[in-house]
Structure 1
Amino acid sequence: MTLPAVSRITVDAPHGSSFVPTPTPVLGWWTSTPTPGWQQAAAEIEAIRAGVSETRVIDGDRSVDVAWPFEPLTPKEDVNLRVRVRGAEEEFGPWSEPRILRAGFLSDGAWTAATIAADAPSADAQPVLLRREFTLDGPAGSALLYAAAVGVYQVSINGVDIDDHVLKPGWTAYQARTVHDTTDVAGLLREGANTITVCLGGGWATELYGFSGNWHTIYAAQPTFAAQLHVSVDGVETVVATDADWQWAEGPVVDASIYHGETYDQRRQPAGPEAWHPVRVAEPMPVPEARVSPFVRRTEEIGVAEVITTPSGKLVLDFGQNLVGRLRLTVDGPAGATITLRHAEVLEHGELGIRPLREARATDRLTLAGTGPFTWEPEFTFHGFRYAQIDGWPGTFDPAAVTAQVIHSDMERTGWFETSHELVQKLHDNVVWGLRGNFLSIPTDCPQRDERLGWTGDIQVFAPTASFLYDVNGFLTSWLRDLVIEQVDGVAPFVVPNVLGDARPAAAWGDAATVVPRVLHERYGDEGVLRRQFDSMKAWVDAIDRRSPGHLWEGAFQFGDWLDPDAPPENAAKAKADPGLVATAHLFLSARIVGETAALLGRPVDAARYTALAEATRIVFLDTFVTGAGRMLSDAPTAYALAIVFGIAPDDLRPTLGRRLAHLVAANSYRISTGFVGTPIITDALTQTGQVETARRLLLSTQNPSWLYPVTMGATTIWERWDSMLPDGTINPGEMTSFNHYALGAVADWLHRRVAGLAPAAPGYAELEIAPILLEGLGSAHARHLTPYGPAAAGWRRDGDEVTVTALVPPNTQAHVLLPDGTRHEVGSGEHSWTTAWVASAPAPTALTVQSTLDKVIVDEEAHGLLTSTVGEDADERIRVMTGWGAGTTVRDMVESFHLGARLPELVEGFRELNRSRGLA
């Protein structure tokens, strides 16, 4: 008998770090066992502290979100942790490999470092060097550096960088919250003289924010820094902290900006003691807290895919992938030679397409000292780009001399999706790249233009997708702390951190306050995030309830179904769906979430109050926006999707709403007709109401607008607008156009949960729902996810008229399986496989003629193809715009109204042949 073994211990520490941010870290573990259907009966946890072992036994099956069972950690303490488990009627298995936990926090009152800055630098937001020399009487037994900045920094000790992180410590609501990094630097110290040097830039802290020329500094004119180094020599601790004895100098970084780029002059090295000046002790920054979020790192290096000479003669490098990061180059040239690097996501008419950057210059400059080959990479900026224009390169250019460094918050990858459909696979790949580019310290809307802000609406819709693909728990937990800080009278702002100053409530945007915590609990089993955020969640619902007389939220500003493709380029909020309908639906959603959360947390009074509010809002919504016949007064796809997916519509009304939604999608020729609010849920709305074929046609459409249109245009990330690039290769004329915006990629969550069929049925995937749907045109679909309990997977593959469904269920969990043929299974852990008959999503075809109406033709994919190929591809768009494919117009009448009667005989024969091929003649 093989006993179960713990293969991994999880803890709420930043990815890749042993430093935990709290004295009572939350624990979890994966179990490995060949025993099918295995369930944990007990676990034993051992902590070795200062050489002394103590253990705790936890009875039951809890292995996720396990409270720290020992005395709290103390600052600087190291603990070796091991776990072993047993099932029912089993002995304990072997001890796991130890995991070292290190206390990365300081005790209350222990932060004594002064906040320092350059005294009288030459310009605002001036990057500078800071330094401090000190002496150690012996070798360092231990040494921890706690460092923070309102700005961005890197520390070196004795000329060596202390880590590989970039843009530390990241962006927070600096006015109230700063973060310190904890780093073990004992290996860099030496007996005798030592020097700490800090490269300090402004980053987000000194950036100018705003729109339409209304730019202003929010946080500081100059970056500031604070740190304290705790060194133990022969058991005696010395603290080297920032104070008035530190010095500063201007270094080779002439200026740096997140938006505009970095200028570096290799000749500007501080030479001699006269270059260094006493620092200024500045106003103290908020006492830093230990880092929760993962570090920003270089995660990949990409070489030049193609060297392009543009029509104007410019040298442009194509890296083959729209990415976020910066260039690293090695160059040799004369003193004073300046190389200029300009970045953009696309080419337009063969030249660098910089108009979408708006005011962001996205330009880096390097001036050489003429001392030989020099390798350089900007330190205090980042760009979103696929293409880079290089001007001023000395001598012959060698593409091997330049690489792109991909940077983002270094979260653990936890989710994968694979399908045989090449375009859908590329769509999913683009979603992953979009996440990587926009999860850089905070979840941003875009990484390239003069914005890059933490828009709440974007992450609200994308959180489920993100939480499958990467472990974003710590990342979003950190961001939610800033959301709480930025709430004003309960109102969650448009962006977090809030640099726009606007605190108006907006549906779907401010609802990030309730939706994101719920997603983190659902995906990670983390009750702690609900406890920490509950007051914030309540405050948001109370704030919008106060603004909703009679539980109807309308009449004030709303983003609505932002970027509905039918909205004009200059007014992205002018959607088909009524903004009051969208807002009231979100009042219902958030009230329901708060009611359910209150019940989970044992708050019965709050549970009753918010559940009642949700029900009252649901009734008002139905009375106001839904007719007795089941038609939405705002007859737009997003309206139907909200009523279905949010659970507003009663069960008996859902099929009617689903049929109307399917009709609207078909009438629009299966092109996307939804914006930020409707797009993430429309495929769910269709599949929940049995309209699988409509969802399939919508997913697989390549017409503009659609998910796959950008793929056919060469996109390597998700676009902000469905037509950010027009079919003729020109950039959308709207001022707001990004080629790396993740929100519309939220469809990937549906691919994971419904197409591959891997979904959580209980918090943290303690129970799985495995219920794949089969889509014609896909030969296979598989999803794999590292759940808090261990690896899980589900998927299917077609072989002729059969389909094989497979599943991997982690130990200590169970799965509810619904096969495509309707049969159900309850299974425990292990590998499972079932073979059933292929169940087609398309209805049985019917005989069609030129007397058939357009609404019959459009739902028949072959007939639709026959019509458009015979009459002309432009007929599809003309019908969509003029009458809609849902009209009762006959094919004959349509052809004659377009003055294409000469094509009728060909169509008559085409339909006759189609019917014969189907045995319907």
Structure 2
Amino acid sequence: MGDFILDTVSSRAPASISIAELRAEHYESGFGIFHATPRLSWRFAATSVRDWRQTSYEVVVTRQGQSESFHVSSNTSSLVAWPSTPLTSRETAHVRVRATGTDGSTTDWAELTLEAALLKRSDWTAELIGGPPQPVDQPKKPFRLRRAFTYSGDAETTRLYATAHGLYEVEINGQRVGDHVLAPGWQSYRHRLHYQTYDVTPLLRPGHNVIGVYLGEGWFAGRLGRPGTSNIWGDRLGFLGQLEVDGRVVCKTDADWEVLTEGPVLNSEIYNGEEFDSRLVDLEWSASGVSTYVVHAAILPFPSAELIAPETPPVRRLTEIQPQQIITTPSGKTVLDFGQNLAGWLRVNIDIPGTDKDTVVIRHAEVLEHGELGTRPLRTAKATATIHLGGPTCGYEPRFTFYGFRYAEVTGYVEVKLTDFSAVVISSDLRRTGSFECSHDLVNKLHENTVWSMRGNFVSVPTDCPQRDERLGWSGDLQVFAPTASFLYDTAAFVGGWLRDLAADQHDLKGIVPNVVPSVPMPPNDNERRPMAAWGDATVITPWDLYQFFGDATFLRKQWDSIVQWLDCGVPRDAHGFYSTETPQFGDWLDPRSPPALPGHTPTDPYLVANAYLVHVTERAAQIAALLNETEAAQRYGSDARRLRARFRSEYVTPSGRLSSDTQTAYVLALHMDLYDSPAELSTARHRLDWLTRWEAFKINTGFCGTPHILPALAKVDMLPTAYRMLQERDSPSWLYPVTMGATTIWERWNSMLPDGSINPGQMTSFNHYALGSVCHFLHAHVAGLSAEEPGWTRALVRPRPGGTVRWARASHDSPIGLYSVSWKAEDEMAMATFVTIPPNGSAHIVLPGIDVVVGSGEHVFETEWHPDPEWPPQVIQGAQGKPVEAVFVP
């Protein structure tokens, strides 16, 4: 059968080009932006129109009743320069954009209203206030602040600007302000403090008004790490708020605010959970007047950090899940099974019956172990909600904590019904951009589990897990997962903001990149602040990944000083410029052959891993420097990379191409990072990786460093059947083993749960860790065949590579340009049909058997030959001694 392109557009009615969305910088809306000259971007809606390219655009900016029009000849539709003069604090501007194509057609106008936040520190006249001092060595008890004020009722706009040292919730006249939870989020509070802007116009009434604030310790002063450090950023909780009417301050935090030290939330800690006394509920506390007995607020030092209105979307309630079943455990406990491991909490939907002497206790866990709640992996985190009865409980949900759980054990309430509780799912509210599906149901579940793990761990910062006494922003986890994350969601603001915290904390450590960001000291060894390859290299690799996905070179510019500090000061080097062996390394963390109690003791030399990364990031730094016109640095890092590469080859590579560590991870890194010189060496590496994979019966033997790259590396050296065979393996250790065990998220260990239903004996065992979900990059880019070929997706690469028993796949990505989608199906007649949709102003490089073309926008159909692999499945290599390996392949 010949290869041909089938045009499906000619028979259709003419289609138009439209702009799907207009945005400013990376904000989810134009409200409360922290940029005086915000760049503008617009994505185009999908269309069948072929080869439409923008040649120019018009921008109309209306400010204070006056309009300015700008016409720009450019094909750029993402992050274009602000055309007008800078905005001032609180200023509103209405923006309209339309684009014109090479064919002369013009889109309709897309519109966006921008409102600047408080852009200058001097705009703040409020003071940071708090309550009486609390014991430093104990959890901080939540308390409330309140103030009455008057409002004339004739304003056009009323805005509340608010932040806290701790976590806060605001109410006005008894109504909750905004839909944020866990505000202001978690940042490196010494350097950067996020504040939020709220439109509170609907909540105000003419005359007397009351504003109330509830404060909890949150991440600011609460225990973090294990065994735990408290008061990392301070030991006094404080609130900073400024309510303005048409730009005039009518209420601000000062010493006249009232402090209410007693309230229904008796305790609330990130790790341990919340204690709630329904008998102390007062529904009118933020709606009525101020009491006659007044404890005035204390004035605290004004925040030293930069006050920022972040681009990052806030943490919100995303959805609710009802319990699937009620389980009675062997010991007689009542457990709710929500059917999905998640991050969030329970909401009580009823008034739980009981007296003021009764208490309901809810314990949370991710799994059951032999029928009972599996709490051992929580370590010292109690993850418990305690509810004292005798008052209203309907609608109760925690304010200042969250849990990672699928199961909730309820004691103190006997007649539990499925409708009594709902699980509230929380996450940073990122825009979903990517999808994937294929003909293999277990692979689809693997992908779905990855999405849930990302959702459960992208809570203000990218954490490792949401359940135990950790929940920290491990840089190594994000470094390996960022390409997958940025395909699935718009991570530009979220990861970009986290990188700014990384750079700020790194500066305090004199160039060392902290392994958790925000930086948390964890004595006695404080490994989290030791320089670690792959973890610290997030400062080089991750901004580059963001640049590839979003086309925004400012990620590289803002991170440049951090890159230089890391390579010049942070990396501990020996006399040859390699990693010093005096500094321990994590290496290929959690290789499945590591002992449960020693996850860093892997068969792959940790310094081979570290130095491979060092060569790679030094080369990348030279590339970034050239892009940023840092000429001297580009030359210096280029020279360093060549020298280090030669040293790596001398140290670890034999003349024939074998590596000193004869492991999957070693060969994967050498192939991924292009550390081989000759075809003969590549042939040796290919042979060894193939042999090692088949010798292990296609089970995975890589940890955090090797796992993201093993399937792409196999595909890179034309061992696609081996890659698919490894992907489809079901026995432990493999990606599909947890799926067969009922996992609904990605596990930290390949065998977090053993086949007999026992939890892995290692004390570090989580059932919600997204790092190993980095395999989804292979699903997106190779199985479905959709990836970015040029930064910002101005050109996509469409190269589906069928294999294994997968007979169809589809994926989409809503890029900065617009929606790209690919769908392919291999037919019984030995033909494969591939459907591609390309957004206006975009293009795609199509690589299929017999086809290598670049096409423009529209819908395209390609039909090519396809032949199943006659040698599928690849065979296991069996040893000469002992019992033969069981090598039955289950598709």
What is the TM-score normalised by the length of structure 2? 0.93
SS in structure 1 of the partner of residue 78 of structure 2: coil
In the other structure, the counterpart of 1:90 is 104
1:431 Cα offset (Å) = 0.2
Letter of the 1:613 partner, please give it: D
In the other structure, the counterpart of 2:179 is 164
Greater CA drift, 792-801 or 250-259: 792-801
Picking from 829, 845, 849, the partner of 1:816 is 845
1:67 Cα offset (Å) = 1.8
In the other structure, the counterpart of 1:57 is 71
Letter of the 1:490 partner, please give it: G
Task: Confirm or deny: 8 A CA contact 1:444 1:453 kept in the other structure.
Answer: yes
Greater CA drift, 238-247 or 630-639: 238-247
Kindly tell me: are residues 291 and 386 of structure 1, through their superposed partners in 2, closer, same or farther at Cα, counting changes over 3 Å?
same
CA distance in 2: counterparts of 1:626 and 1:91, whole angstroms: 58
Letter of the 1:240 partner, please give it: C
Task: Confirm or deny: 8 A CA contact 2:721 2:874 kept in the other structure.
Answer: no
SS in structure 2 of the partner of residue 134 of structure 1: strand
Picking from 508, 513, 518, the partner of 1:492 is 513
In the other structure, the counterpart of 2:402 is 382
Query: What's the CA shift string for 1:570-598, capped at 9, x where partnerless?
Result: 11111111111111111112111211111
Please tell me whether residue 262 in structure 1 is matched to residue 274 in structure 2: yes
1:886 Cα offset (Å) = 5.8
Query: What's the CA shift string for 1:331-382, capped at 9, x where partnerless?
Result: 23233221111000000010000000000000001112345x6221111110
Task: Confirm or deny: 8 A CA contact 2:281 2:391 kept in the other structure.
Answer: no
In the other structure, the counterpart of 2:58 is 44
Greater CA drift, 714-723 or 143-152: 143-152
SS in structure 2 of the partner of residue 365 of structure 1: strand
**Where in structure 2 are the equivalents of 1:426-437 lying within 5 Å?**
426-437=445-456
1:41 Cα offset (Å) = 0.8
Task: Confirm or deny: 8 A CA contact 2:42 2:78 kept in the other structure.
Answer: yes
CA distance in 2: counterparts of 1:490 and 1:734, whole angstroms: 33
Query: What's the CA shift string for 1:35-87, capped at 9, x where partnerless?
Result: 31111111111111122211222212111121212111111111211111112
Picking from 648, 655, 659, the partner of 1:621 is 648
In the other structure, the counterpart of 2:248 is 237
Please tell me whether residue 418 in structure 1 is matched to residue 417 in structure 2: no
Please tell me whether residue 202 in structure 1 is matched to residue 217 in structure 2: yes
Greater CA drift, 708-717 or 474-483: 474-483
CA distance in 2: counterparts of 1:370 and 1:210, whole angstroms: 35
Task: Confirm or deny: 8 A CA contact 1:128 1:251 kept in the other structure.
Answer: yes
Kindly tell me: are residues 116 and 109 of structure 1, through their superposed partners in 2, closer, same or farther at Cα, counting changes over 3 Å?
same
CA distance in 2: counterparts of 1:481 and 1:185, whole angstroms: 30
CA distance in 2: counterparts of 1:899 and 1:633, whole angstroms: 28
Letter of the 2:243 partner, please give it: L
Greater CA drift, 337-346 or 101-110: 101-110
In the other structure, the counterpart of 1:331 is 351
Kindly tell me: are residues 368 and 3 of structure 1, through their superposed partners in 2, closer, same or farther at Cα, counting changes over 3 Å?
same
Please tell me whether residue 567 in structure 1 is matched to residue 594 in structure 2: yes
**Which structure: greater helix fraction?**
1
CA distance in 2: counterparts of 1:740 and 1:669, whole angstroms: 26
Letter of the 2:23 partner, please give it: T
Greater CA drift, 570-579 or 736-745: 570-579
CA distance in 1: counterparts of 2:768 and 2:294, whole angstroms: 42
In the other structure, the counterpart of 1:635 is 662
In the other structure, the counterpart of 1:281 is 299
Letter of the 1:199 partner, please give it: Y
1:514 Cα offset (Å) = 0.8
Letter of the 2:844 partner, please give it: A
In the other structure, the counterpart of 2:606 is 579
CA distance in 2: counterparts of 1:688 and 1:490, whole angstroms: 35
Task: Confirm or deny: 8 A CA contact 1:460 1:515 kept in the other structure.
Answer: yes
- Return the index of the structure with the highest Cα Rg: 1
Letter of the 1:624 partner, please give it: E
CA distance in 2: counterparts of 1:377 and 1:545, whole angstroms: 45
SS in structure 2 of the partner of residue 263 of structure 1: strand
Picking from 736, 745, 763, the partner of 1:717 is 745
Gaps of 5+ in 1: 846-858, 865-884, 911-921
Picking from 233, 245, 259, the partner of 1:248 is 259
CA distance in 1: counterparts of 2:564 and 2:500, whole angstroms: 15
Letter of the 2:129 partner, please give it: I
CA distance in 1: counterparts of 2:315 and 2:609, whole angstroms: 36
1:91 Cα offset (Å) = 4.9
In the other structure, the counterpart of 1:15 is 28
Identity rate, percent: 43
CA distance in 2: counterparts of 1:379 and 1:844, whole angstroms: 58
Letter of the 1:87 partner, please give it: G
1:545 Cα offset (Å) = 5.3
Query: What's the CA shift string for 1:760-779, capped at 9, x where partnerless?
Result: 00001111111111112112
CA distance in 2: counterparts of 1:469 and 1:356, whole angstroms: 28
In the other structure, the counterpart of 2:5 is none
1:276 Cα offset (Å) = 4.4
Kindly tell me: are residues 540 and 886 of structure 1, through their superposed partners in 2, closer, same or farther at Cα, counting changes over 3 Å?
farther
Letter of the 1:118 partner, please give it: G
CA distance in 1: counterparts of 2:549 and 2:542, whole angstroms: 11
Letter of the 1:188 partner, please give it: L
Please tell me whether residue 307 in structure 1 is matched to residue 326 in structure 2: yes
Greater CA drift, 270-279 or 260-269: 270-279
Task: Confirm or deny: 8 A CA contact 1:30 1:789 kept in the other structure.
Answer: yes
1:221 Cα offset (Å) = 2.7
Task: Confirm or deny: 8 A CA contact 2:25 2:79 kept in the other structure.
Answer: no
Task: Confirm or deny: 8 A CA contact 2:657 2:676 kept in the other structure.
Answer: no
Query: What's the CA shift string for 1:510-534, capped at 9, x where partnerless?
Result: 0111111111100001111111111
Q: Pick 1 or 2: higher relative contact order, CA cutoff 8 A, min separation 6.
A: 2
**Where in structure 2 are the equivalents of 1:480-879 lying within 5 Å?**
480-487=499-506, 488-500=509-521, 502-544=528-570, 547-555=573-581, 556-650=583-677, 652=679, 653-800=681-828, 801-819=830-848, 821-840=849-868, 842=869, 844=871, 860-861=874-875
Query: What's the CA shift string for 1:611-646, capped at 9, x where partnerless?
Result: 221121111111111111110111111111111111
1:124 Cα offset (Å) = 4.1
CA distance in 1: counterparts of 2:884 and 2:820, whole angstroms: 58
1:543 Cα offset (Å) = 2.5
Task: Confirm or deny: 8 A CA contact 1:699 1:708 kept in the other structure.
Answer: yes
Q: CA RMSD in A?
A: 2.1
CA distance in 1: counterparts of 2:134 and 2:580, whole angstroms: 51
Task: Confirm or deny: 8 A CA contact 2:25 2:41 kept in the other structure.
Answer: no
Letter of the 1:791 partner, please give it: L
Query: What's the CA shift string for 1:728-749, capped at 9, x where partnerless?
Result: 0000000000000000000101
1:603 Cα offset (Å) = 1.7
Task: Confirm or deny: 8 A CA contact 2:510 2:570 kept in the other structure.
Answer: no
Greater CA drift, 482-491 or 418-427: 482-491
1:231 Cα offset (Å) = 1.5
Picking from 94, 98, 121, the partner of 1:80 is 94
Kindly tell me: are residues 489 and 594 of structure 1, through their superposed partners in 2, closer, same or farther at Cα, counting changes over 3 Å?
same
**Where in structure 2 are the equivalents of 1:451-462 lying within 5 Å?**
451-462=470-481
1:445 Cα offset (Å) = 0.3
Kindly tell me: are residues 18 and 216 of structure 1, through their superposed partners in 2, closer, same or farther at Cα, counting changes over 3 Å?
closer
CA distance in 1: counterparts of 2:854 and 2:704, whole angstroms: 36
CA distance in 1: counterparts of 2:663 and 2:207, whole angstroms: 74
In the other structure, the counterpart of 2:458 is 439
Query: What's the CA shift string for 1:185-216, capped at 9, x where partnerless?
Result: 122112211111001111111211332x4644
1:240 Cα offset (Å) = 1.8
Task: Confirm or deny: 8 A CA contact 2:513 2:570 kept in the other structure.
Answer: no
1:647 Cα offset (Å) = 2.1
Task: Confirm or deny: 8 A CA contact 1:4 1:85 kept in the other structure.
Answer: no
CA distance in 1: counterparts of 2:149 and 2:432, whole angstroms: 41
